[in-house]
Amino acid sequence: MAHKQQGYRFENDWSLKEMKDDLDGLNSALVVPINVEVKADHMVLNYDNIKQYVEEAKTISVIDCGCRTKMKHCDRPIEVCLGLNDKAEKFLTEPIYKEKRPHRISKEEAIDILKKTNEAGLVHMAYVHKDGENEGKPDVICSCCSCCCEILGATLRYGLSPHVLKASAKSETEESKCTSCGVCVERCHFGARKMANEGLEYDKNLCFGCGLCVNTCPTQAITLKQLK
């Protein structure tokens, strides 16, 4: 897909200044595979981590995705940005978030949002901000696309961000099961999969371990393996 190329510009796109300013406030953004239909141990570890943050959170709130609302490059779900604890309170009380329709949600509703956004093909990103009071723990869990998201755009199209960390897993494809249908190519925001004359080509080095290609492969040819 063209927009995954470095330097690609949408007609309305984030400016370099906007991207850099946002990255300045960020410690890290970790790609988290949340693929509830795969029960392998390596998946459970990551899913459990994020689920644990949700379970332990005193307050959870959700706001509209500012990137998709502003850019409108796709029509994926909008009500997806989860704030935890202090960040959840900030979403609910600070005037700058008001237009993003903040409201309190339950743990079950938060998990439901993560499931639905996985189905919609969004990458789950756990953000740790520099001003976070829970050092090292994510205070925002977002569901991002590579076309609208400022942070993924900075990483994928501009090579700007050392802040986006890969998950500790990579996908593997069992070639004998692959029918070259191309579904996984559409699901992958990171350009790790493409169709060529010979069929599917997969570049493991480009895989961020998001797991989005796993549960939609019609022949169950793809698994996510934890890195040693």
153 is a site residue for ligand SF4 (CB under 6 A): no
Q: Provide the 8-state DSSP code for 95.
A: G
Instruction: Please state, as a whole number, how many other Cβ atoms lie within 10 Å of the Cβ of residue 188.
Output: 24
Whether the Cβ atoms of residue 173 and residue 45 lie closer than 8 Å to each other: no
Q: Among 61, 202, 212, which Cα is nearest to 141's?
A: 61
Quote the CA–CA distance of 213 and 137 in Å, as a whole number. Answer: 27
- The contact mask relative to ligand SF4 for 195-224 (x = CB under 6 A, - = no) is -----x------xxxxxxx---xxx-xx--
38 is a site residue for ligand SF4 (CB under 6 A): no
- Please count the residues of this chain forming the interface with ligand SF4, following the rule CB under 6 A: 40
| Residue number, 102 or 209, with CB nearest to ligand SF4 | 209
151 is a site residue for ligand SF4 (CB under 6 A): yes
119 is a site residue for ligand SF4 (CB under 6 A): no
84 is a site residue for ligand SF4 (CB under 6 A): no
Whether the Cβ atoms of residue 111 and residue 51 lie closer than 8 Å to each other: yes
Q: Is 85 left (phi over 0), alpha (psi -120 to 50) or beta?
A: left
- The contact mask relative to ligand SF4 for 51-70 (x = CB under 6 A, - = no) is --------------xxxx--
Of positions 173, 194, 215, 226, contacts ligand SF4 by CB under 6 A? 173
Q: Among 197, 125, 190, 133, which Cα is nearest to 164's?
A: 125
List residues binding ligand SF4 (CB under 6 A): 65-68, 80-81, 142-144, 148-151, 171, 173, 178-184, 187-188, 190, 192-193, 200, 207-213, 217-219, 221-222
